[in-house]
Structure 1
Amino acid sequence: MDFELEVTPMAAPIIVGIDGSTHSRRALDWAADHGARHRLPLRLVHASRALEPGGSIPDDALRRLVAEREDMLAEARDHALKRHPGLDVTTSLLDTDPGGALVDASDEAALVVVGSRGQGGFEGLLFGSVGLHTAARARCPVMVVTRPAPDPGDAPAKIVVGVEGEPGDEAAVRWAFADAAARGAGVVALHAAGGEFSPRRRVIEEMELSEAVAGMGEDFPDVAVRPLVSDRTAPQALVEASESAALVVVGARTRKSLIGMGLGRVNHVVLHHSRCPVVLVPTS
């Protein structure tokens, strides 16, 4: 799909993690699509400790490695411009830790986009350590493009947003509606109650869910919304809903653990098993 692009001057960029792999190329496709829809510039980032000068790599080998990585970024930039010729696309090659580089870039970004990686079935680990680090610590929304995700041009006209019924929901809900407005898509506001409940409780849950998204109608009058209360657990409901969605949007509530900051269980499961890209929106 082609877009008439007029990128907003000084707009916060979309940061895309690039490593030359298939999964980062697919993340780039989604990032370029988002940039075209929202008129935002792209900044393609590749970071590696191997590029540090004065390390164990001889100078000649380091120069060749740097040239190789610069070519990789240039190829990625050309790929994005072929899909959306009007995009403003820049590149950054950094001699630092990739997860830290993406988190640092998130301070002034509109969105960070990373791809999932790895092999495995439902119990397998499909999401790499760099992506997990970024998703748990970024100061802006993070889009994780999962392996089963379709090409963005083939994505359904529906965005699913998880609503827990907590104050932090508003940021994720607003992000979902804004993206739906840009796509011409509808929103499914999904609340998972996690078990069987009485008719009376269902009515209460549905009323509270409707109230949680009611304020979006004024700002996004053209976005159709469908509140949905599910008796499934939140991970089950969101993963199932991902099969027919363009995006699943959830609030990013990080948890402190023995090894540092980490994502909560619901987000962790959804990131590993969603059939479409997942957007994590930091809660205040």
Structure 2
Amino acid sequence: MTFRSDSSHVPTIVLNDGNVIPQLGFGVFQVPAEDVTGVTAEALKVGYRSIDTAAIYGNEEGVGRAIRESGIPRDELFITTKLWNADQGYDSTLRAFDSSMSRLGLDYLDLYLIHWPVPSAGRYVDTFRAFQALRSQGRIGSIGVSNFRVIDLETLIADTGEIPSVNQIELHPTLAQRDLRQYDANHAIATEAWSPLGQGTLLDNSAIVDIAKQLDRTPAQVIIRWHLQLGNIVIPKSVTPSRIAENFDVFTFELDAEAMESISRLDSGKRIGPDPATFSAGLG
């Protein structure tokens, strides 16, 4: 199979603030700090222009190094990082942002996300207000959230007067999040999928394998294509060069309605990651 490596054909999504994000990006969750520069460099070489990291990943510095060494103009890149739970709150958010930007070596961030709502702490509204202040200073392009449920989004919107631009959530064929995706769509919130391949648990699913064989594609490519056709922003992660390229080569085929429905029927509502209603790691 010949891989196509060209960023120009990646579709984009216009966010509710007018900024534009590539629909396909590259995630670095669980990529060790000592490996992330090389892995990110490979992704940039293949054609990815959107890179997603987070403070808690411990690899922002290496991501920043790859960005600088790539030679790609900054305005051609879309960089996302996330605020960790322990740093929620107005003043602590401002400090945490400075720390992330120092590690990344950037003076401007395209998208900043609240990593988890941590509803038990009740700090995400003040956190988002700090995001608004940072944006007003010209330091952030877009502000959003991650792992927010409808109830969290409703509170945030009511208390801050603003709809976040992105909600990044666990989303894959066995956790399709239909109701949350519909809420996001109704409120012009872009839905971004983390763990889009189910952390590899779906790659040997018989329904997906059958579709992949019919199309002469890989299971990962089929799943990523399913996300794209649903309208999700998707950020697959791999540390293997061939798979990094494979996951990017998803724009020369389409899934028909039968294949889309076959994959959607896999939805069981089962999470791989934590439950946003109760997850509060880092609060101490």
Structures share fold, TM-score greater than 0.5: no
TM norm structure 2 = 0.31
TM norm structure 1 = 0.31
**Which has the higher Rg, Structure 1 or Structure 2?**
1
Higher percent of residues as strand: 1
